[in-house]
């Protein structure tokens, strides 16, 4: 389908908003995730359900996404908005959409690093203003300069890639044979392992890892839904916690 | 010294400044320092309405390095607000005391907060809502949006106000009584198990290798061996190998490159 500049700009705007403070800090936990980014992009392009499905597919790669201490595996939001837009514009299936979104999200990390570097200068500006007694400038400096910077660094690249990207993607698509698509699907099936491993780095230990195996068995062997696995997990967690902390004998690894 | 009391509205204003702009000026040098000072602005103005010098000193002491998980870390701000109020009413609390409390708490609460918000709550909500979406139901992303806002706002607001209400005692009680370890342990167990469920569901890797045995019989590595031994073994091993390297300190970007390369090789050879 043809995309208008206005549609591209709206998608770029939402990409900016997803990293901005205007949706409160919960924006990072909602509009920043490809699942919701897909729906928003789908609505802008007039195909909400397709957008949501593509966003859900892209989000699988970033399921266990953790941003802590600078080590992160890319920008899920860029992958979500731009990836969904390119997929809808070029009629890609979910697997191919996943494969093209990941490099996009990875390249976008550069924007993030640049932003955090430039933001350091504003701290010194705030120091000087406080020294002079202009306390209200702290609020101004915390909001206006970093947001102008963020807007320029997020809205413009996202809009341009969304607007001019489909031509490049269509050229690339003509090269795709079923074999190459199979390789894309294999890659798409492997990348969630990274997000999940990064998550396990945080919450996995010798005490919890056996339950990781149990979770795999529940889903593969017993074909359970995630919501059922979650409920079973809650039951086990509460039971173990109650047993461990009854009295003083809390003996776990 | 002004003897001013804070109202609930003052504390809420301060919370909202943080809840919105915590990461606005996130930077490599002092991370959330300016955001912390920004959130203390309404407090200082209320506590020292006439004394410009006290206001200035107050803001200056909160311009120091600060970094925590913005949702759960709110309890630190609550405690700080309570301490500032005590100080304005005559308690001799030094700048070092503020700094000590803040830097002492921000690390542990970043750990607790990241585990809960990014490690457990968000992946579980995502997994459930992606599942709903994949059944061609547009409610998936919408439920995700609403649930996340209710959960995260609730935690942040309660953390802030409990920190304010109970002061340093609140944090000492949470952090020392084994209570926090209990919550983290239970949440980690739940999170790890759901991660297992995700691996099974979203890493559909199977061996495609078949061995002709002669006489028309074939042996499929996946169906005849792995599915009988332990279905999901390939995703399990793959995740554990990646986890091993991530723990060793291999950067996520490099790991991603390695996985893509591995996918291209095994995909081309027809192993998966």
CB contacts, 8 Å: A215 with chain B: 192-200
Instruction: Rank A56-65, B33-42, B165-174 by mean pLDDT and report only the highest.
Output: B33-42
Q: Please check whether residue B168 is in contact with residue B18, taking contact to mean a CB–CB distance below 8 angstroms.
A: no
Of A35, A209, A250, the CB nearest to B144: A35
CB contacts, 8 Å: B179 with chain A: none
Distance CA A190, CA A55 (A): 18
Mutate to test the interface with B, among A20, A103, A196 (most CBs of B within 10 A): A196
Q: How far is CA B94 from the centre of its chain?
A: 31
Asked if A74 lies within 8 A of B256 by C-beta distance, the reply is yes
The residue whose two tokens read 């004998």 is A249
Which has more confidence, A233 or B267?
Answer: A233
Q: Please check whether residue A63 is in contact with residue B200, taking contact to mean a CB–CB distance below 8 angstroms.
A: no
> pLDDT by residue (tens digit) across B64-105?
899 999 999 999 999 999 989 888 888 888 888 888 888 888
Q: What is the mean pLDDT of residues B148-164?
A: 94
Of A31, A53, A122, the CB nearest to B25: A122
Asked if A22 lies within 8 A of B20 by C-beta distance, the reply is yes
Pairing label, strands B217-220, B210-214: antiparallel
Q: Closest chain A residue to B227 measured between Cα atoms? A: A221
Asked if B140 lies within 8 A of A102 by C-beta distance, the reply is no
> pLDDT by residue (tens digit) across A196-218?
898 898 888 888 999 999 999 99
Distance CA B52, CA B58 (A): 10
pLDDT of residue A68: 64
Q: Please check whether residue B82 is in contact with residue B167, taking contact to mean a CB–CB distance below 8 angstroms.
A: yes
Residue B6 DSSP code: P
Query: What is the token pair recorded at A2?
Result: 């043809």
Query: What is the token pair recorded at B235?
Result: 């995703």
Distance CA B18, CA A12 (A): 26
pLDDT of residue A26: 95
The minimum CA-CA distance between A65 and chain B, rounded to whole Å, is: 7
Full DSSP string of B32-94: THHHHHHHHHHHHHHH-SS-HHHHHHHHHHTSS-B---TTTTHHHHHHHHHHHHHHHTT----
pLDDT of residue A146: 94
Of B133, B199, B260, the CB nearest to A187: B260
Closest CA to A37 of A90, A105, A130: A105
CB contacts, 8 Å: B198 with chain A: 63-64, 192, 196, 215, 219, 226
Mutate to test the interface with B, among A31, A65, A125, A194 (most CBs of B within 10 A): A194
Q: What is the pTM of this model?
A: 0.87
The overall longest dimension of chain A from CA atoms, in Å, is 68
* Cβ atoms < 10 Å from Cβ of A61: 30
Asked if A183 lies within 8 A of B268 by C-beta distance, the reply is yes
> pLDDT by residue (tens digit) across B103-137?
888 888 888 898 889 989 999 999 899 989 988 99
pLDDT of residue A252: 46
Asked if B192 lies within 8 A of A212 by C-beta distance, the reply is yes
- Residue A157 pLDDT class (50, 70, 90 cuts): very high
> pLDDT by residue (tens digit) across B95-104?
888 888 888 8
Of A73, A186, A192, the CB nearest to B253: A73
pLDDT of residue B182: 81
Distance CA A89, CA A170 (A): 9
Cβ neighbors of A187 (< 8 A, separation 6 or more) are A99, A102, B259, B260, B263, B264, B267
Mutate to test the interface with B, among A129, A199, A249 (most CBs of B within 10 A): A199
CB contacts, 8 Å: B232 with chain A: 216-217, 219-221
Give the burial class of B152: count Cβ atoms within 10 A of its Cβ; 0-12 exposed, 13-18 middle, 19 or more buried.
buried
Q: Please check whether residue A219 is in contact with residue B238, taking contact to mean a CB–CB distance below 8 angstroms.
A: no
Asked if A142 lies within 8 A of B34 by C-beta distance, the reply is yes
Distance CA B25, CA B36 (A): 11
- Residue A253 pLDDT class (50, 70, 90 cuts): very low
- By residue count, chain A amounts to 253
- Residue A18 pLDDT class (50, 70, 90 cuts): very high
Residue B204 contacts A where some CB pair is shorter than 8 Å:
yes
Distance CA B263, CA B233 (A): 17
- Residue B175 pLDDT class (50, 70, 90 cuts): low
Residue B189 contacts A where some CB pair is shorter than 8 Å:
yes
Q: What is the mean pLDDT of residues B166-172?
A: 75
CB contacts, 8 Å: A194 with chain B: 242, 246, 252, 255-256, 259
Distance CA A47, CA A38 (A): 10
The minimum CA-CA distance between A200 and chain B, rounded to whole Å, is: 7
- Residue A250 pLDDT class (50, 70, 90 cuts): very low
pLDDT beyond 90 at B42: yes
Which has more confidence, A70 or B264?
Answer: B264
Q: Please check whether residue A208 is in contact with residue B188, taking contact to mean a CB–CB distance below 8 angstroms.
A: yes
CB contacts, 8 Å: B192 with chain A: 200, 203-204, 208-209, 211-212, 215
Cβ neighbors of B159 (< 8 A, separation 6 or more) are B71, B72, B73, B74, B75, B78
Of A30, A49, A199, the CB nearest to B138: A49
Q: What is the mean pLDDT of residues B47-67?
A: 90
């Amino acid at each position: 389908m043809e995309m208008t500049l206005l549609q591209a700009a709206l998608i770029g705007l939402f990409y900016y908003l997803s990293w901005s403070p205007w949706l409160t800090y919960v924006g990072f936990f909602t509009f920043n995730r490809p699942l919701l980014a897909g729906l928003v992009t789908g609505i802008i392009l007039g195909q909400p359900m397709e957008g949501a499905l593509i966003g859900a597919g892209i989000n699988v790669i970033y399921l266990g996404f953790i941003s802590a201490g600078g080590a992160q595996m890319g920008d899920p939001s860029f992958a979500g908005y731009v990836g969904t837009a390119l997929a809808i514009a070029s009629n890609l299936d979910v697997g191919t959409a996943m494969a093209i979104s990941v490099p996009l999200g990875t390249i976008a990390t550069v924007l993030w690093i640049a932003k955090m570097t430039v933001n350091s200068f504003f701290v010194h500006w705030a120091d000087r203003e406080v020294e002079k007694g202009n306390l209200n400038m702290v609020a101004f400096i915390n909001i206006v300069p970093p947001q102008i910077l963020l807007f320029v660094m997020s809205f413009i690249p996202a809009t341009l890639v969304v607007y001019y990207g489909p031509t490049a993607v269509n050229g690339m698509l003509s090269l795709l044979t079923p074999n190459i698509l199979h390789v894309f699907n294999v890659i798409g099936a492997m990348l969630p392992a990274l997000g999940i491993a990064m998550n396990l780095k945080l919450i996995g230990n010798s005490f919890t890892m056996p339950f990781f195996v149990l979770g795999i068995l529940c889903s593969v062997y017993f074909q359970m839904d995630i919501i059922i696995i979650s409920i079973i997990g809650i039951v086990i967690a509460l039971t173990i916690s109650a047993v461990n902390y009854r009295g003083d004998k809390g003996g776990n690894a | 010294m002004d003897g001013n009391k804070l109202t609930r509205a003052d504390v809420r204003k301060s919370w909202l400044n943080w809840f919105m702009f915590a990461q606005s000026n996130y930077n490599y040098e002092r991370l959330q320092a300016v955001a912390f000072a920004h959130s203390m602005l309404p407090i200082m103005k209320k506590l020292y309405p006439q004394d410009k010098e006290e206001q200035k000193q107050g803001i200056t002491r909160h311009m120091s390095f600060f970094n925590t998980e913005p949702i759960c870390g709110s309890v630190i701000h609550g405690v700080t607000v309570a301490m500032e109020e005590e100080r304005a009413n005559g308690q001799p609390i030094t700048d070092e005391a503020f700094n000590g409390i803040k830097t002492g708490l921000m690390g542990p609460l970043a750990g607790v907060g990241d585990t809960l918000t990014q490690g457990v709550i968000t992946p579980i909500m995502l997994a459930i809502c992606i599942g709903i979406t994949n059944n061609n139901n547009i409610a998936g992303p919408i439920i995700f949006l609403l649930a996340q806002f209710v959960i995260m706002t609730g935690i942040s607001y309660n953390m802030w106000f409990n920190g304010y209400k109970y002061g340093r005692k609140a944090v000492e009680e949470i952090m020392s009584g084994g209570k926090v370890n209990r919550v983290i342990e239970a949440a980690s167990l739940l999170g790890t198990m759901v991660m297992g469920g995700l691996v099974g569901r979203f890493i559909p890797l199977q061996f495609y290798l078949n061995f002709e045995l002669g006489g028309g019989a074939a042996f499929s590595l996946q169906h005849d061996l792995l599915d009988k031994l332990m279905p999901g073994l390939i995703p399990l091993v793959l995740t554990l190998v990646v986890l091993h390297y991530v723990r060793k300190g291999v950067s996520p970007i490099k790991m991603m490159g390695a996985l893509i390369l591995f996918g291209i090789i095994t995909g081309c050879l027809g192993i998966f």
